[in-house]
Amino acid sequence: MPWFGQGGKKGKLPGATELQVQRTKQIESLRRGNLNVIETLRDVEYRLTIQAAGNSLTLIINLPPQFPQDKPSITVQPAVRHPWVDSNSKVINCPNINNFSVHSSLNTAVQAVVDEFRSNPPALVSHVQYPVNTPNRGYPSMFPVTTNIFSIYPSMPSYTSPASPTETTTSPSQNATSTTETQLSNCDTSIPDFSQTNIMSTFPELKDKGRLEMLEILNEEEKILEIIQKMPQVQQVVQEREKQSCKCTELAKENLSKKPVIEDLKQQVSEMMQEFESLRTQFESNQEKQCSLIDQFHPSVIQNNLKVAILEAEEESEKIVEDFLDKKIDIEEFTTQFLEKRALYHTRRAKEEKMNHMSIDQGF
């Protein structure tokens, strides 16, 4: 069958031969035929039930080992009579099956048989006819071959066919058969009525009842029910039922008594779920802040910020020099501001160099 390999793509089975691939395709076509086919033996036997002229027929589809190089076989159950079916209930005259090849469709072949049986319904073989007065060839002569099976059991009503006017003479074999039948008919082959014995042992109160009383009881359902209810087995069942009913009632009461506890536990679980949701929301928010701070205080980010701050301090110190040269500030103010900005510049520069050495040592 097709399998799914890496990436979810459909492919062939590893090591599958081309014949196996074709076999799988034929089986897939049969399953896609909307015939409600049932797999009884994997990749070998399938069954299909159809209705033909009110009769339910089962088609057994067998696939040989070399299928589809070898054609499939279809058997019908129960036994039927049809021009396409032989005495062994095997479909032999279907053109789609007889001409089956690798390029044929199994679904089409089966559908052809189904259409044929629906358009020309086969006849069921309702019974098997056995020959009468046939010699017992090759079998032990334990029982005689007889033309009338009722002669063995005298308790059964026998049927004797009328003699034909032409049957005036009898052969020695027929005389022997008649003698054997007479001996068997004289034997006591009556079968004891076990059902009546069982009834009398189960209902001992019926032993003393006459025929009329039995008929009256038979016609009154209330008396029959009363007799049945007095049986020990029925009383035992009733007692067991009452016992089980009491147990069910006790279990129901016990379950109802635990309802407040269950409600309290449900309330506790609900509160814990609300607290869990609140803590989870807070955790997710803190996690986002943590990720933001990690990105913000990464060594590379700090180093870039220091470079920008160094440039800003240098620009501000140069602006103070320009203001002094333009006589916008006096010497005392220039000295104070310039020394402050240059100290800030050198401090930031030292930090930037230290961060650079750290990043090189730690491989940032």
For 117-136, what is each residue's pLDDT tens digit?
A: 999 999 888 644 444 344 44
Q: Is residue 23 part of a domain?
A: yes
pLDDT, mean of residues 75-84: 92
Q: Is residue 339 part of a domain?
A: yes
The whole-number pLDDT of residue 126 equals: 66
Is 353's pLDDT higher than 60? Answer: yes
Cβ–Cβ under 8 Å, residues 362 and 338:
no
Q: Is residue 275 part of a domain?
A: no
Q: Please give the span between the terminal C-alpha atoms of the chain, in angstroms, as a whole number.
A: 54
The residue among 124, 143, 160 that closes a domain is: 124
The proportion of the chain whose per-residue pLDDT surpasses 70, expressed as a percent, equals 73
Residue 355 CA: distances (Å) to CA of 153, 297, 302, 362: 117, 12, 8, 10
Overall residue count recorded for the chain in this entry: 364
Q: Is residue 177 part of a domain?
A: no
CATH number at residue 53: 3.10.110.10
The band of 357, judged by pLDDT with boundaries at 50, 70 and 90, is: confident
Global pTM?
Answer: 0.34
Q: Is residue 106 part of a domain?
A: yes
The Cα–Cα gap between 143 and 180 comes to: 10
Of 349 and 198, the one with more pLDDT: 349
- The domain in which residue 86 lies consists of 3-124
The Cα–Cα gap between 77 and 97 comes to: 18
pLDDT, mean of residues 189-196: 44
Q: Is residue 27 part of a domain?
A: yes
The whole-number pLDDT of residue 231 equals: 81
Element (H, E) at 137: none
Residue-wise pLDDT tens digits, 39-69? 888 889 999 899 888 888 999 999 999 898 8
Instruction: Give how many domains the chain has, as a whole number.
Output: 2
The residue among 124, 152, 174 that closes a domain is: 124
Is 146's pLDDT higher than 60? Answer: no
Residue-wise pLDDT tens digits, 230-274? 888 888 898 999 999 999 999 999 999 999 999 999 999 999 999
What is the four-CA torsion angle of 198, 199, 200, 204, rounded to 10 degrees?
Answer: 120
Q: Is residue 290 part of a domain?
A: no
Q: Is residue 85 part of a domain?
A: yes
The residue among 57, 71, 74, 75 whose CA lies nearest residue 105 is: 71
The residue among 65, 99, 124 that closes a domain is: 124
What are residue 326's phi and psi, to 5 degrees? Answer: -80, 5
Residue 255 CA: distances (Å) to CA of 218, 244, 249, 262, 287: 47, 16, 10, 10, 45
The residue among 138, 124, 63 whose CA lies nearest residue 89 is: 124
